[in-house]
Structure 1
Amino acid sequence: MRFLSRRLVMPNDLNFAGSLFGGRILEWIDEEAYIFASCQLDQKSLVTKHIGEITFQASAFQGDVVEFGLAIKSVGRTSLTVTCVVRNKGTKQNICIADDIVFVHIDSESRTPQPHGKTKEQLDKLTIDPPS
């Protein structure tokens, strides 16, 4: 799993108890997972179809830096499924795990699913040997 981006927990990200609001972290996960999927497939026309199990394991607080680890779980003809782990940059403690985030490549005009043209083997090779 590659940890590709980070965010600083700010006051407007907190819930009534002073910890990172679950809804904010889910918003960030959807955005980060989209960026990852879009970069992997080299496609912009992706929509979130499904987010599976979400497990909150620890809290984050104002001033914490959280980082997002993303990995490809499976590749379909029109879809890409990823897993996202959010952890505290300083402590390396997992804050949240979102499994089975499914993105579907769509035609930008008709909004219907379209093949993205990539295989898991091709995408795994990109992860191992990123372009220079």
Structure 2
Amino acid sequence: METHRLVLTEDLNQYGFLFGGRLLSWADELGYIAASNDFPDANFVTIGMGEVAFKKPVKNGAILCLKAVQSKRGTTSVSYEISVTAGQSTEQIFSTDISFVNVYANGQKRALSH
């Protein structure tokens, strides 16, 4: 799955670059959407992120390309590799791995179907 984001002034930190927390939020959201599309009957919650690597600063006005690729599937969980590039470049500016678990309304794990 792929999506794009425009970096706006409200996304910047005190030094004028993209705030890392904002990018983490976008990555988590993309992973959730990818998982929900792949398993439409599931109720996912985020259970973890792997190593988070911010490789380059991002300036105001940059257009980011965020990609999610399923990397692992378990009985109740699924993981996605998230990568981000800026503009027309293919050079990664960010990457991480995000895992989601399918749960019942009471929070207990539930097997994935599909």
Task: Give the equivalent residue in structure 2 for 1:115.
Answer: 111
Which stretches in structure 1 are left out of the alignment for 5+ residues? 119-132
**What residue number does 1:37 align with?**
35
TM-score of the pair, normalised by structure 1: 0.81
Say yes or no: does 1:12 pair with 2:10. Answer: yes
The equivalent residue for 2:75 is 77
Paired residues, number: 114
Distance 2:45 2:80 in 1: 13
Deviations 1:8-57 (A, max 9, x none): 00000011111111011001111111001111111351000011101111
CA distance in 1, matches of 2:10, 2:74: 37
CA-atom RMSD, angstroms? 1.2
SS at match of 2:110: coil
Higher relative contact order at CA 8 Å, sep ≥6: structure 1 or structure 2? 2
Contiguous gaps of at least 5 residues in structure 2: none
In structure 2, the residue corresponding to 1:23 is in which secondary structure? helix
Under a length normalisation based on structure 2, what TM-score does the superposition of the two structures give?
A: 0.93
AA paired with 2:61? G
Find runs of 4+ consecutive structure 1 residues off by over 6 angstroms. Answer: none
Q: Higher helix proportion, which one?
A: 1
Q: Could you report, residue by residue, the CA deviation over 1:52-94 in whole angstroms, capped at 9, with x for unpaired residues?
A: 1011111111111001111111100000011100111322321
